[in-house]
Amino acid sequence: MIKKLKVTTALTMALPAFVLSSAMALAGPAEVSGPGVNPECFAPWSADTKFLQWDAKPGPYRVAVVNGFVGNTWRIQMIKTAKAFAEDPSLKEKISDFKVVSTGTDAPAQLGAIEDFINQGYDAIVTIAVSPDGFDRVIRLADKSNVVIVPFDNVLDTDKVMQVNEDQLKMGRMWAEFAVNELKKKGVTSGKILEVRGLPGNSVDRDRSIGINEVLDASGGDWEVVQVVGNWDDGTTQKVVADAIAVHGEFVAVVGQGGSNGVVQALKDANHPWVPVAGESENGFRKAIAEYSDDGLKGISIGQSPGLVAIAMKAAVSALEGNVMPQLISVPLPVATYDQLEDGKNYWSDLPDNFFTVNEFPPCGVNISGPEIMSQTEEDVK
């Protein structure tokens, strides 16, 4: 049993215009047979993933990153990572113009920014979508202009564009499975579980929560799931977790989509007993697991890497070069549990707590160091 609480006018001119319009309508990627280029890096999501190919364009290319929300450390690190990767020798000579903008959580503002970059003649636009739908108009405009749009992280509910992501549904399931299994080791099969949601309206938040609750529903436990919204932000998460503890008392486990440092701090401040905690790949969260696991903080850290932006940028350039690409590219989930953590390997005691630890993708030749990332700013590049 699960109880859920949710905290001109001449004919001779008209004909050429019609022909041009018809030709433009046929623009965009062609659906082709696989395999695609560099499958070790650009891995198809599944055996059913289709393949796309754009007409090759001569480089170098004009590339823009259109972010939405920027109010948490993950998004800030993502922007810094994009800037650092644009300077990487493997990519720098292929890009003539690079811009970054953040438009906030307003979908029309993000769509307007994407349309503006298309109209300015940019070749590729990498984006974290504010909403999983509503992009049909800009996708059609991009296809007419032979512009490659690559959503990543918060992706779109469409197969009309190439997208890059980790399996969010699987991530949610793995978090919940870890929590349930750790509780079973303690003989706990009932109680309150705190679910910390992400940014409302995003496909990532939706899919992770679906995965979490699928597992809890199927576990046979008598769980009362209390949901709070942490926006994947440490400060916000700390507050809402503290409020939840004040209202609901003790929890047997916490499953959080992000803001994991905030989860730990709220538990400490409230003198809440250490319990199994599933969370993201923040460096501070991994530090805490390493320090307190013997005291009961049994944690799993699964990283949605800000470095996904680098894979999306690399995929966009590859598509512009005319390579065959999977429509949906799968990036493996980087997982570390409390018994797998090693300082200097999958967390760093000398790096800030809000640094996200996973930024290496060896099959793609992408390895962006912490200092390279941290030397950048989160400001727009206009």
Question: pLDDT digit string (tens) for 78-120?
Answer: 999 999 999 999 999 999 999 999 999 899 999 999 999 999 9
Average pLDDT over residues 304-316: 94
Q: pLDDT at residue 250 above 60?
A: yes
Residue 18 confidence (pLDDT): 39
Band (2; pLDDT cuts 50, 70, 90)? low
> Which of 16-30, 36-50, 141-155, 182-196 has the least mean pLDDT?
16-30
Enter the pTM of the model.
0.81
Residue 12 confidence (pLDDT):
37
Rounded CA-CA distance 256/113 in Å is 31
- pLDDT tens digits for 139-148? 999 999 999 9
- Confidence band, pLDDT 50/70/90 cuts, at residue 15: very low
Instruction: Give 9 or 284, the one with higher predicted confidence.
Output: 284
Instruction: Please state the rounded mean pLDDT for residues 154-183.
Output: 95
Alpha carbons 75 and 169: distance in angstroms, whole number? 20
pLDDT of residue 363: 87
Q: How confident is the model at residue 3 (pLDDT cuts 50, 70, 90)?
A: low
Q: Of all residues in the chain, what percent are helix, strand and coil, respectively (each to 5)?
A: 40, 20, 40
**pLDDT for the residue numbered 14:** 41
Identify which has the larger pLDDT, 87 or 2: 87
Average pLDDT over residues 298-313: 94
Q: What average pLDDT does the segment 292-318 reach?
A: 95
Q: What was the pLDDT predicted at 22?
A: 38
What pLDDT was estimated at residue 203? 87
Query: CA-CA distances (angstroms) from residue 194 to 153, 255, 294?
Result: 24, 6, 22
Cα–Cα distance for residue pair 157/14, rounded to 1 Å: 36
User: Assign residue 302 a region: left if phi > 0, alpha if psi is -120 to 50, beta otherwise?
Assistant: beta
Residue 9, pLDDT score:
34
Cα Rg of the chain (Å, integer): 22
% residues pLDDT > 90 (the chain): 78
| C-alpha to C-alpha distance for 250 and 273, rounded to whole angstroms | 8
Query: What's the average model confidence in pLDDT over 192-216?
Result: 95
Q: What does the alpha-carbon distance between residue 319 and residue 333 come to, in Å, rounded to a whole number?
A: 24
N-terminal to C-terminal alpha carbon distance within the chain: 53
Cα dist from 241 to 138, 253, 265, 352, whole Å: 38, 12, 9, 22
d(CA 152, CA 216): 28
Mean of per-residue pLDDT scores for the chain: 91
The pLDDT of residue 4: 54
What pLDDT is stored for residue 371 in this prediction?
81
- Residue 19 in this model has a pLDDT that exceeds 50: no
Q: How confident is the model at residue 165 (pLDDT cuts 50, 70, 90)?
A: very high
Which of 113-122, 221-230, 336-345 is least confident? 336-345
- The confidence score (pLDDT) of residue 20 equals 39
Could you tell me which of 169, 197, 182 has the C-alpha nearest to residue 279?
197
State residue 102's pLDDT score. 95
Is the distance from CB of 140 to CB of 24 less than 8 angstroms? Answer: no
pLDDT at residue 21 above 50?
A: no
Q: What contacts 11, CB < 8 A, 6 or more positions away?
A: none
Res 5: pLDDT: 53
User: Which residue would you say has higher pLDDT here, 214 or 371?
Assistant: 214
Looking from the CA of 183 toward its CB, the CA atoms found within 13 Å total 26
Confidence of residue 369 (pLDDT cuts 50, 70, 90): confident
Q: Of 192, 197, 219, nearest to 273 (Cα)?
A: 192
